[in-house]
């Protein structure tokens, strides 16, 4: 069974590239640029991992991560925050499991995802 990944970013180009890279690596990927109702989206899709952009229109990825980690139904899902605005201490304080600095290489992306999902 393929591992499921949900990615939220407001940049469609990044969503498209990441989706293609992860599909190639044999993951099931759903992308969205809409932070509204993201908790409900996560509960419905049941991903094995969530990737969040840090700076989104109207909200921030660290705030969404805090919501995920505080929600009893989904708090066990690993969260990666992708950010060009890097303050690792602040981002780790939100409870994320990994941080990827933008711009990032596809090897780093795949390695981080595989590491969190323990994929061989």
Residue 1 banded pLDDT, cuts 50, 70, 90: confident
Structure confidence at residue 118 (pLDDT): 83
Residue 31 lies in a domain: yes
62 CB neighbour count, 10 Å cutoff: 22
Residue 77 lies in a domain: yes
Residue 117 lies in a domain: no
Token pair recorded at residue 85: 């605005």
Structure confidence at residue 42 (pLDDT): 98
> Stretch 93-115: mean pLDDT, rounded?
93
19 sits in which H/E element: helix 12-24
Output the furthest CA–CA distance in the chain (Å, rounded): 37
What CATH number did the domain enclosing 82 receive? 3.40.50.2300
Residue 116 lies in a domain: no
- DSSP-assigned letters across all residues of 46-111: --SEEEEESEETTEEHHHHHHHHHH-TTTTTS-EEEEESS--HHHHHHTT-SEEEESS--HHHHHH
Structure confidence at residue 85 (pLDDT): 75
Tokens 């952009």 belong to which residue?
A: 53
Structure confidence at residue 108 (pLDDT): 95
- How many domains does the chain fold into? 1
What confidence tens digit (pLDDT) does each residue in 12-60 have? 999 999 999 999 999 999 999 999 999 999 999 999 999 999 999 889 9
Tokens 């921030």 belong to which residue?
A: 60
What confidence tens digit (pLDDT) does each residue in 61-87 have? 999 999 999 999 999 999 999 988 767
Structure confidence at residue 97 (pLDDT): 95
pLDDT at 9 over 70: yes
Tokens 């919501």 belong to which residue?
A: 67
Q: Which of 47-61, 83-97, 104-118 has the lowest mean pLDDT?
A: 83-97
Which range of residues forms the domain containing residue 48? 4-110
- Contact status, residue 57 vs residue 10, Cβ threshold 8 Å: yes
Residue 88 lies in a domain: yes
């Amino acid at each position: 069974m393929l591992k499921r990944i949900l990615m939220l970013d407001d940049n469609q180009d990044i969503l498209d590239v990441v989706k293609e890279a992860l599909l190639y690596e044999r993951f099931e990927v759903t992308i969205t640029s809409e932070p509204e109702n993201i908790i409900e989206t996560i509960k419905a899709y049941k991903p094995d991992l969530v990737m969040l952009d840090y700076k989104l229109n109207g909200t921030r990825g660290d705030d969404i991560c805090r919501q995920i980690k505080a929600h009893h139904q989904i708090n066990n899902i690993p969260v990666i925050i992708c950010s060009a605005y890097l303050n690792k201490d602040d981002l780790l304080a939100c409870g994320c499991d990994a941080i990827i600095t933008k711009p990032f290489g596809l090897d780093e992306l795949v390695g981080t995802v595989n590491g969190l999902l323990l994929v061989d």
